[in-house]
Structure 1
Amino acid sequence: MTTTSRGALPLAGLLATSGVLHFLAPKPFDAIVPRSLPGGPRTWTLLSGAAELAVAAAVAHPGTRRLGGLAAAGLFAAVFPANVKMAVDWRHAPPARRAIAYGRLPLQIPLVLWGLRVARR
């Protein structure tokens, strides 16, 4: 396994897993869709799940890996408002749930950097 695939394939796996979960268990994703977006939350949940699957495929394939890494970085940045909504909605939740919601916010930074690192290799 090359250095490139070692970083890219786990990223593709993460994206694919999340994308599949959007279809298998959409309710938690529906709940964090910002209300300011037009249309229904389920539409955005399914669109973002499809986007994650497409980006996962692009990252996994060496010929599209650079574009896939850039798309992954963009996708991770684009879903940040959903993570902010979750943190706001869960601000009075039990401590474990608050920790999850707040922990997702800074996690986006290494995820964006991971996508950019894959794109550079």
Structure 2
Amino acid sequence: MNDGRSGAPALAWLLATTGVLHFAAPRPFDAIVPRSLPGGPRTWTYLSGAAELAVAAAIANPGTRRLGGLAAAGLFAAVFPANIKMAVDWRHASPARRAIAYARLPLQVPLVLWGLRVARR
């Protein structure tokens, strides 16, 4: 298995980094939790951070990499509503903030594909 071709180490690093950020600096993540979810935003921030850390660990381990890649693809799809909320909330923000929020929407597609590529290799 060639990790370099699938990008598994980089994907594991990305997920681990964002997972840690959910705990170290949760406020920005709390702000994009859709209001329709039950419970408080901080609970969802911590749950999604824990999920990112677990998926990162699965991808980092060759024995669970296939499952980790599939889980990453699912996770990236599952957080898409948060990206939509961010884009809606920031629609009147500065041009730089709007650009960030709007860029996150199409970025989910290559992230999902990256997870699937890791799962295939």
Q: Same fold (TM over 0.5)?
A: yes
Query: What TM-score does the superposition give when structure 1 sets the normalisation length?
Result: 0.97
Equivalent residue runs for 1:88-99 within 5 Å: 88-99=88-99
Alpha-carbon distance, 1:30 to partner: 0.1
Partner Cα distance (1:85, 1:35) in 2: 9
Q: Match for residue 12 of structure 2? A: 12
RMSD of the TM alignment (CA)? 0.9
Matched residues, percent identical? 86
Partner Cα distance (1:68, 1:112) in 2: 12
Partner Cα distance (2:73, 2:94) in 1: 31
Query: What TM-score does the superposition give when structure 2 sets the normalisation length?
Result: 0.97
Partner Cα distance (1:34, 1:66) in 2: 29
Equivalent residue runs for 1:98-117 within 5 Å: 98-117=98-117
The DSSP-based 3-state class of the residue aligned with 1:63 is coil
Alpha-carbon distance, 1:84 to partner: 0.2
Partner Cα distance (2:55, 2:4) in 1: 15
Count of residue pairs the alignment pairs up? 120
Partner Cα distance (2:4, 2:12) in 1: 10
Q: Match for residue 55 of structure 1? A: 55
The DSSP-based 3-state class of the residue aligned with 2:35 is coil
Partner Cα distance (1:61, 1:10) in 2: 13
Partner Cα distance (1:4, 1:50) in 2: 24
Deviations 1:61-120 (A, max 9, x none): 000000000000000000000000000000000000000000000000000000000000
Structure 2 spans left out of the alignment, 5+ residues: none
Structure 1 spans left out of the alignment, 5+ residues: none
Equivalent residue runs for 1:42-81 within 5 Å: 42-81=42-81
Q: Which amino acid is 1:4 matched to?
A: D
The DSSP-based 3-state class of the residue aligned with 1:36 is coil
